[in-house]
Structure 1
Amino acid sequence: MSAPSISLLLPTRGRPALARRLFRSIAETVSRPDRVEVIVYVDDDDIESHDLDSDDIAVHRIIGPARSMGSYNSACLDRASGGIVVLANDDMIVRTPRWDERLLTVNDEFPDGIYLAYGNDLNKKRGLSTFPVLSRRTCELLVDPYPAQYRGAFIDVHIFDIFQRLSHAGFDRTRYLEDVVFEHMHFRVGKSAPDATYLKRGRFDDDPTFIALAPGRREAARRLIDALQGRRPDQFQRRQYREVVPTNSLLASAYFARQFLFDNELPLRRRLYLWYWFLGRYAAAHGALRHFIRQP
């Protein structure tokens, strides 16, 4: 059986130079350029990005209206043909030669096609699947791997959370590839300058969305577990969830405790981390940490 091809999903806006830099890094490191494609979504008013292309790898462009980040990625997934799907960013650089062979090795490890792989972003490293790699079958089982509700962030955390639930249920389906470097050149770690695309996004806008979609992540994990155990997953039902975080800090602390500390489908360490992390994000969003966090 021939090896599956690899699709990288790339929503981009106002950054043609960064997108081309990513194309070059892919072309310079991939062992089989003919096995790789990049699906680019460009807003219809981003004229300078409409001709994004590469002489070395296949680039397929979608030009359409502005959407949420989740919708961008879903549109790219619909166009993709690869059996392995990589969620990419235009501020990413591929550093590791023959990285595609490493992804194929992970894919071969799981004949049922249910796994999450991710490389080393040189920032979060093992702690987060910044650029998640999923098989086509995993995407199909999840049905909606990149929820449209996410406007600009948290999709990586969302996917990572689903597979943390699998791990807690006894299914080791996450592979961190420390030696595969997909470097994240984000301005918040001092690797680039802030630009209009960065600054347009509200840093904390998707926090309530992540909390609201917890029931969806529980259902997604159960779908994967059903498939792993040979059961037919329940029919996917698209639901609307909404959460409102309290504005009072004491109430917010109790709210985050209820949302995270009592989620018994996650490992305890992960629950503690999410509770602490969201407390910090809440404090930052309300100005309490303005002297300690990097400002654009």
Structure 2
Amino acid sequence: SFLVPYDDECAALAVGVRTFNAPAKEFFTLRGYTLFEMGDIIAIEKSLNIKGHNSFCPCRSCEIKGVRNVTDHKKLYYVPLTQPDGRSWDPENLPLWTPERLVAAIQKFDEISATIPDQAAAAKAKDVLAKFHGMKGLPALRRVGSLHYPRSRPWDTMHLFFENIVPNLVKLWSGKFKGLDVGTGSYEIPADTWDLIWEETAAAVQHIPSDFVRVLGSTPGYYTAEAWAFWFIYLAPILLKGRFPDTKYHTHLCELSDIIKACLRFTSTTVQVETLWQDIIRWVRKYE
């Protein structure tokens, strides 16, 4: 792997490297540790050696399990708090991944190798276990132990919100999300209203300096994550006001906009983080 040289350097820095201090004119032992690993969703999944966001156990932060639409032979899993069979997950007490839980899960793979002599049977048992835990093996860059599993790999707002949640919500509100109808809800906005919304979007940014936002055209299919971010945070709460058949969906939109703003703060207090956590839980529960 291309990470092997870096892993070797991390190990050397953890032990200590003899380094010259020019101002003091003396040598000292330099130590360094990797505390965070940044990357998009796919890159972090590969680094953690997990199955990822479309698997039965998709989350890199907790062991929540997914469900899929077997009646229509769908293969992708989704992760509702309340599952079709009535079982539910408590968002305030999810089974979070910890280094200890990771080690315990990996030990199960070792136990299979030690107790099942037949290689084919052992491989099948490991596949079942890998599906249940959502992992393929040990994560990369684990030798030094400075990276916490999984807190050292934070989620990035660009892919989480502006490449996934926000454009998917717009598709849902447009009646174009995976063939779903509104069910018992009333959140779908007519196509001609959307045409007007996108025209108003293009007009709204004409006189805003380009340092803040690029030109937003009337075709959202070409929107980048940056465009979706500006539109959803600053324009959508205004442009979509009065457009939903039921005002509660506009309120729900504004709540997500506030959540995103909170996530983008440069600094946050402990109280603000706690409030944000509760706001996210409340938003997801309302969505379901």
TM-score of Structure 1 vs Structure 2, range by shorter chain = 0.3 to 0.5
TM-score scaled by structure 2?
Answer: 0.33
Indicate the structure (1 or 2) with the bigger Cα radius of gyration: 2
> Per residue, is there more strand in 1 or in 2?
1
TM-score scaled by structure 1?
Answer: 0.32
> Per residue, is there more helix in 1 or in 2?
2
